[in-house]
Amino acid sequence: MREETISAILERIQQETGIVLSRATDRARISRYLDNGGILPKTHEPLPDTLLNLITTNETYFERESHHFDRLIDEILPQIDRSGVSKPIRILCAPSSSGEEAYTIALRILESSLRLTRAIEIIGVDISPEMIRRAQEGVYSKRSIHALKPEIVQRYFRMQNQEFKINALEGMSVRFLSGNLFDPYLWNELGNFEIIFSRNMMIYFDKSKNRELLLRFRDHLEGFLILGHADDHIQARELFTPMRKERGVIYHT
């Protein structure tokens, strides 16, 4: 009976969130969730926050795969800013985890010599409510900021209980919301973007969910898609136009 409940929970997670959990340790995690009073929610009920926090792998840090931020500053933003449009440039981090990627983008722009005519709006989305809470709090460990230059840390962070709290970033809109990227209602709320970063999430999904996600990106993107090196580049190449450089590939619509 218990094994069946665990299987039903894993099945529900995969269908709704895309996350494939097939290892024995995943079953053990769900078993502990049940021991602590967790339940299999009814079909019409959302997956509980405790379960979402438990099943996600949230590894991230400032400047992860930093060559993507180089290309953002050197190629992508100058090109978009030339388009003559006056509304803000909208950038999505899907997923954002605890916010390091979104803040790296903001810090890179602030530190660049770009004189953009358009405002910047950065939105981070993650299915884990705990990660979104942390992103909104903006407090980071030493490990999380290890790849930042000391002068950047000094300029943009202040100490708080042995950790690093990011300051308000002047002229930069960075916000976070929790949501499932397979939820069409979330996309109604999000709207459209000129740049989508989707790094290090597809590795947890199967091929069909990756395609569903890429199609959703295509519907809401007029511009550039940046994937992590281990994400689904095979299907991305079928749906977007690749732009290759020595260090990896990014895509445009």
Ligand X SMILES: C[S@@+](CC[C@H](N)C(=O)[O-])C[C@H]1O[C@@H](n2cnc3c(N)ncnc32)[C@H](O)[C@@H]1O
Q: Please report, as ranges, the residues that interact with ligand X according to CB under 6 A.
A: 17-19, 56-60, 64, 95, 97, 101, 125-128, 131, 180-182, 199-201, 228
Least separation in angstroms between residue 177's CB and ligand X is 10
Q: Minimal CA–CA distance to 128: which of 184, 226, 186, 57?
A: 57
The minimum distance between CB 183 and ligand X, in angstroms, equals: 8
CA dist., res. 30 & res. 41, Å (int): 13
What is the C-alpha end-to-end distance of the chain, expressed in Å? Answer: 48
Q: Give the nearer residue to ligand X in terms of CB position, either 50 or 81.
A: 50
Which secondary-structure segment (H or E) carries 104? Answer: helix 100-111
Shortest distance, position 86 Cβ to ligand X, whole Å: 29
Q: Name which of 173 and 182 has its Cβ closer to ligand X.
A: 182
Which is closer to ligand X, CB of 9 or CB of 125?
Answer: 125
C-beta of 10: minimal distance to ligand X in Å?
A: 14
- β 89-93/163-166 pair status: unpaired
Q: Cα–Cα distance between 64 and 202 in angstroms, integer?
A: 16
| Amino acid present at 68 | H
Q: Which is nearer to ligand X, 77 or 200 (CB)?
A: 200
DSSP 204: G
If the CB atoms of residues 21 and 80 are measured against ligand X, the closer one turns out to be 21
Nearer to ligand X (CB atom), residue 57 or residue 154: 57
Q: Residue 223 region, left (φ>0) first, then alpha (ψ -120 to 50), else beta?
A: left
The H or E element spanning position 193 is strand 193-198
As measured in angstroms, the least distance from the Cβ of 201 to ligand X is 4
In the complex, minimum distance from the CB of residue 82 to ligand X, in angstroms, rounded to a whole number: 27
Residue 18: name the closest of 183, 177, 204, 179 by CA.
204
